[in-house]
């Protein structure tokens, strides 16, 4: 506690009303945000003579002043607390580092032939959203099953409207080709209805409906249709046999926490429409919380409020929450309906809690063991490079292209916990001779370190360059030009066999060559960082190449916007037909003037 902070005088002026408090250090940095039903009693608990946890004592020792905001209720205090934690991320609060939106299965509506698709982000499109799913893999698995079973289209609307013949999905019996009228609207609507029933968890009703339809088709001697319905029933029975089904059609989340030393894990099971869609582990950075119950108590509001996730009607926790009444009120208002939080459950729900608890404990142990391995590798790297301290932040650059085209440079970042993916960067390289990796590296490094020198991010302790002395010399010159002098440059050159384990390291500051044994922990860490940079560069290059391939040549012609491109493609059936057409033929297309037709013709026949 700062010498300038008089806790006794401060507490004497405090109120017994509910509210939030913010603790600051001598530099004005926010240390901790808390809420209280009774501000005076809660704040007094920080300044008692004994019984404080080590983390709490460390926090109190840094307090220079405290700001208090009185609210009308504990509910308002909870919401304000979460908003401040999200905005300021104080070091002594539990922090959930996860801002990804969850994926959903989207079924469109308001059209003759609706589509199903993976959806992530704002729900602006007209239709139904089923989920959330724990990850994209779970959505794709469901979409794959639905595609094989009910054959509802998954193509984009722009593709659907411009088809003149069935696509490959029809050929492999994963679509009924509504784009070319191979299925009647009412029959297609029945498949969409069954898809919705499956996603809603109405398994019994769906099976009965399919069985009735199969019997009716057989009675009408429509044996082909009856066989298709029989196959759908068989597929549904198979997938139901693999799932743990909730009694009824409940939607709930189950949360369990585990804690060891200064680390914590919260495992969440997602149950939607009576089916476990999957699970996911989170590793919040513990603040002042002691024990699993306190971790869950602070995790729940941040998980559902600060991240804007969909809130189910039931939340089950492995430990009782001290703020359960307030949380039920706040989360219920956020979801627009009644919400229940409980921890005493029986039968299959108790089994799910046990499952989540075991997963939290096992995943935390695995993460801690992995962390210990990383620490050992970092210490080995420190010894190999002769550093005074263990490196805290490392970066690595790599270049990827196809025969010199569409070059992409990658920058990956690692710290003591492993990859820091939020700090990864890609650079689309332009204005260089194709295949000139030196020029590509120079451009990427210049763009990266000019930004870092301007305060956009942190400088690394070590910069690894995937390459030999030539690449290293380029990097050394760029850093000197950018005024960066306190970053260790290390080149990672592949051996003559270009196999892992035969790399040579080059230190730019000493010019020393270092060859490590194949089983060296330091080499394994460098290989991991180098391979991640390579993967990230290749992925960026492939994405850029695929985007270029999807891009229509017509987009380069002035005056040919989306509407005119669509009319041209519909009229001529594709780009080849447009290229072969005369100016007179082009002018016959709706929206294409004589002058524009000549411009289009001239674009394709400029030679």
Residue 196 inside a domain? The answer is yes
Q: Is residue 268 domain-shared with residue 318, that is, in the same domain?
A: yes
410 closest CA partner among 540, 525, 548: 540
Given a cut of 50, whether residue 134 has pLDDT beyond it is yes
Contact 424, 414 (CB under 8 A): no
Q: How far apart are alpha carbons 183 and 113 in whole angstroms?
A: 10
69 closest CA partner among 59, 61, 60, 79: 79
What's the whole-number average pLDDT of the chain?
82
Q: Is residue 428 domain-shared with residue 470, that is, in the same domain?
A: yes
Q: pLDDT confidence of 607, banded at 50, 70, 90?
A: low
Return the pLDDT at 603.
82
Give the strand order in the sheet containing 127-130.
116-119, 104-108, 127-130
442 closest CA partner among 464, 463, 472, 487: 472
Domain that holds residue 41: 7-88
Neighbours of 283 (CB within 10 A): 16
Q: Please, which residues bridge with residue 70 across strands?
A: 19
Given a cut of 70, whether residue 247 has pLDDT beyond it is no
Given a cut of 60, whether residue 566 has pLDDT beyond it is yes
Q: How far apart are alpha carbons 325 and 317 in whole angstroms?
A: 14
34-85 pLDDT, tens digit each: 998 899 999 999 988 787 888 888 888 889 888 888 888 888 888 888 878 8
Which range, 102-106, 447-451, 570-574, is most confident? Answer: 447-451
- Section 391-400 average pLDDT: 90
Quote the tokens at residue 572: 């001529």
> Which of 206, 241, 276 is the C-terminal boundary of a domain?
241
Neighbours of 245 (CB within 10 A): 16
- Section 430-443 average pLDDT: 85
Q: How far apart are alpha carbons 69 and 539 in whole angstroms?
A: 48
Which range, 36-45, 204-213, 307-316, is most confident? Answer: 36-45
Contact 601, 583 (CB under 8 A): yes
- Section 176-183 average pLDDT: 88
Q: What is the value of pTM for the model shown? A: 0.55
Quote the tokens at residue 252: 């709930």
Q: How far apart are alpha carbons 8 and 446 in whole angstroms?
A: 55
Quote the tokens at residue 589: 């297309």
- Section 315-337 average pLDDT: 89
Q: Please, which residues bridge with residue 405 across strands?
A: 402
Q: pLDDT confidence of 3, banded at 50, 70, 90?
A: low
Given a cut of 80, whether residue 548 has pLDDT beyond it is no
Q: Is residue 428 domain-shared with residue 484, that is, in the same domain?
A: yes
Q: ∠ CA(215), CA(174), CA(188), 5° rounding? A: 55
Residues 6+ apart with CB under 8 A from 515: 503, 504, 505
DSSP string covering 553-584: GGGGSTT--HHHHHHHHHHHSSHHHHHH--HH
584-606 pLDDT, tens digit each: 888 888 888 888 888 888 888 86
Residue 95 inside a domain? The answer is no
Q: Say which residue, 435 or 2, is predicted with more confidence.
A: 435
Query: What CA dihedral angle connects 596, 597, 602 and 604, to 10 degrees?
Result: 120
From the centroid of its chain, how far is CA 550? 24
- Section 163-183 average pLDDT: 86
Q: Is residue 424 domain-shared with residue 473, that is, in the same domain?
A: yes
Return the pLDDT at 238.
60
3-class state of residue 258 by DSSP? strand
Contact 462, 486 (CB under 8 A): no
> Which of 88, 120, 137 is the C-terminal boundary of a domain?
88
Contact 371, 264 (CB under 8 A): no
Return the pLDDT at 546.
74
Q: Is residue 208 domain-shared with residue 265, that is, in the same domain?
A: no
Which of the residue ranges 93-97, 107-111, 281-285, 379-383 would you say has the lowest mean pLDDT? 93-97
- How many structural domains is the chain composed of? 5
Return the pLDDT at 242.
43
Residue 371 inside a domain? The answer is no
Return the pLDDT at 245.
41
Residues 6+ apart with CB under 8 A from 59: 23, 31, 32, 46, 92, 288
Given a cut of 50, whether residue 243 has pLDDT beyond it is no
Neighbours of 561 (CB within 10 A): 12
Length of the chain: 607
Q: Is residue 400 domain-shared with residue 530, that is, in the same domain?
A: yes
> Which of 53, 88, 123 is the C-terminal boundary of a domain?
88
Residue recorded with tokens 């405090």: 14
Q: pLDDT confidence of 241, banded at 50, 70, 90?
A: very low
- Section 446-464 average pLDDT: 83
Residues 6+ apart with CB under 8 A from 566: 162
Q: Is residue 123 domain-shared with residue 174, that is, in the same domain?
A: yes
Helices and strands in the chain, H and E counts: 20, 19
Residue 306 inside a domain? The answer is yes
Q: Is residue 524 domain-shared with residue 411, that is, in the same domain?
A: yes
- Looking up residue 520, the CATH number of its domain turns out to be 3.30.420.340
347-364 pLDDT, tens digit each: 778 888 888 898 888 888
Q: Please, which residues bridge with residue 95 across strands?
A: 285
Q: Is residue 111 domain-shared with residue 221, that is, in the same domain?
A: yes
φ, ψ of residue 568 to 5 degrees: the values are -65, -45
Q: Is the peptide bond before 132 cis (omega within 30 degrees of 0)?
A: yes
Indicate the helix (H) or strand (E) that contains 119. strand 116-119
506-532 pLDDT, tens digit each: 888 888 888 888 778 888 888 889 889
- Looking up residue 270, the CATH number of its domain turns out to be 3.30.420
- By DSSP bridging, strand 405-415 and strand 418-419 are antiparallel
Q: Say which residue, 275 or 489, is predicted with more confidence.
A: 489
Quote the tokens at residue 2: 């700062």
391 closest CA partner among 369, 411, 416, 372: 416
Q: pLDDT confidence of 116, banded at 50, 70, 90?
A: confident
CA atoms within 13 A on the CB side of 262: 7
Q: Is residue 557 domain-shared with residue 535, that is, in the same domain?
A: no
Quote the tokens at residue 304: 């559902």
Given a cut of 90, whether residue 318 has pLDDT beyond it is yes
Give the strand order in the sheet containing 314-317.
275-282, 263-272, 252-260, 314-317, 340-342
- Above pLDDT 90, what percent of the chain? 7
Residue recorded with tokens 């709706």: 590
Q: Is residue 537 domain-shared with residue 565, that is, in the same domain?
A: no
- Above pLDDT 70, what percent of the chain? 90
Contact 592, 567 (CB under 8 A): yes
Residue 379 inside a domain? The answer is no
- Looking up residue 559, the CATH number of its domain turns out to be 1.10.150.20
Q: How far apart are alpha carbons 86 and 90 in whole angstroms?
A: 9
Given a cut of 70, whether residue 501 has pLDDT beyond it is no
Q: Is residue 405 domain-shared with residue 338, that is, in the same domain?
A: no
- Looking up residue 14, the CATH number of its domain turns out to be 3.40.1440.10
Q: pLDDT confidence of 246, banded at 50, 70, 90?
A: very low
Residue 576 inside a domain? The answer is yes
DSSP string covering 496-542: TT--TT--EEEETTT--EEE--TT-HHHHHHHHHHHHHHHHHHHHHH
- Section 292-298 average pLDDT: 89
Given a cut of 50, whether residue 483 has pLDDT beyond it is yes
Residue 547 inside a domain? The answer is no
Return the pLDDT at 315.
93
Neighbours of 443 (CB within 10 A): 21
Tell me which DSSP letter residue 305 carries: I
Indicate the helix (H) or strand (E) that contains 282. strand 275-282
Return the pLDDT at 463.
92
Residue 384 inside a domain? The answer is no
- Section 126-132 average pLDDT: 80
């Amino acid at each position: 506690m700062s010498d300038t902070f008089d806790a006794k005088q401060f507490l004497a002026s405090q109120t017994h009303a509910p509210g939030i408090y913010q603790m600051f250090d001598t530099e004005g940095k926010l240390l901790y945000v808390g809420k209280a039903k009774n501000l005076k009693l809660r704040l007094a608990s920080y300044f008692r003579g004994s019984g404080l946890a080590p983390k709490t004592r460390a926090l109190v020792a840094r307090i220079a002043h405290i700001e208090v905001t009185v609210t009308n209720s504990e509910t308002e205090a909870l919401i304000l607390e979460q908003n401040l934690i999200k905005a300021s991320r104080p070091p002594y609060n539990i922090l959930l580092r996860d801002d990804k939106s969850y994926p959903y299965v989207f079924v469109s509506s308001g059209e003759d032939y609706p589509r199903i698709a993976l959806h992530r982000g704002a729900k602006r499109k007209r239709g139904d959203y089923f989920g959330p799913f724990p990850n994209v893999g779970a959505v794709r698995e469901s979409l794959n099953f639905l595609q094989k079973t009910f054959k509802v289209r998954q193509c984009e609307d722009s593709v659907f409207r411009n088809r003149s013949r069935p696509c490959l999905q029809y050929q492999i019996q994963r679509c009924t080709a509504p784009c070319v009228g191979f299925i009647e609207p009412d029959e297609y609507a029945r498949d969409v209805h069954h898809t919705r029933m499956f996603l809603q968890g109405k398994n019994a009703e769906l099976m009965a409906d399919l069985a009735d339809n199969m019997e009716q088709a057989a009675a009408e001697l429509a044996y082909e249709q009856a066989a298709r319905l029989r196959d759908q029933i068989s597929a549904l029975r198979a997938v139901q046999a693999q799932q743990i089904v909730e009694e009824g059609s409940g939607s709930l989340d189950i949360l369990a926490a585990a804690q060891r030393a200064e680390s914590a894990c919260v495992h969440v099971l997602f149950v939607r429409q009576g089916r476990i869609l999957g699970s996911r582990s989170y590793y919040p950075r513990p603040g002042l919380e002691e024990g699993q119950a306190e971790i869950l108590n602070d995790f729940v509001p941040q998980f559902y409020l600060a991240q804007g996730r969909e809130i189910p009607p039931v939340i089950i926790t492995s430990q009782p929450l001290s703020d359960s009444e307030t949380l039920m009120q706040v989360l219920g208002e956020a979801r627009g309906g009644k919400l229940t939080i409980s921890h005493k459950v029986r039968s299959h729900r108790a089994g799910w809690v046990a499952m989540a608890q075991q997963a939290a404990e096992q995943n935390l142990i695995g993460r801690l063991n992995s962390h210990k391995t990383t620490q050992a590798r970092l210490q080995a790297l420190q010894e190999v490079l002769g550093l005074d301290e263990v490196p805290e932040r490392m970066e690595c650059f790599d270049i990827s292209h196809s025969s010199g085209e569409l070059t992409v440079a990658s920058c990956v970042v690692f710290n003591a916990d492993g990859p820091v993916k939020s700090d990864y960067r890609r650079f689309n390289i332009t204005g260089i001779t194709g295949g000139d990796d030196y020029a590509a590296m120079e451009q990427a490094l210049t763009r990266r370190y000019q930004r870092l020198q301007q305060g956009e991010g942190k400088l690394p302790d070590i910069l690894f360059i995937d390459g030999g002395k030539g690449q290293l010399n380029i990097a050394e010159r760029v850093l000197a030009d950018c005024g960066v002098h306190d970053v260790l440059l290390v080149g990672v050159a592949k051996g003559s066999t270009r196999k892992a384990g035969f790399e040579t390291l080059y230190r730019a500051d000493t010019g020393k060559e270092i060859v490590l044994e194949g089983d060296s922990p330091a080499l394994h860490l460098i290989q991991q960082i180098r391979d991640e940079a390579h993967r990230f560069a290749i992925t960026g290059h492939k994405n850029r190449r695929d985007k270029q391939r999807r891009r229509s040549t017509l987009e380069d012609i002035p005056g040919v916007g989306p509407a005119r491109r669509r009319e041209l493609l519909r009229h001529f059936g594709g780009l080849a037909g447009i290229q072969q057409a005369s100016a007179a033929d082009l002018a016959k297309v709706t929206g294409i003037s004589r002058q524009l037709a000549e411009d289009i013709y001239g674009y394709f026949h400029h030679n």
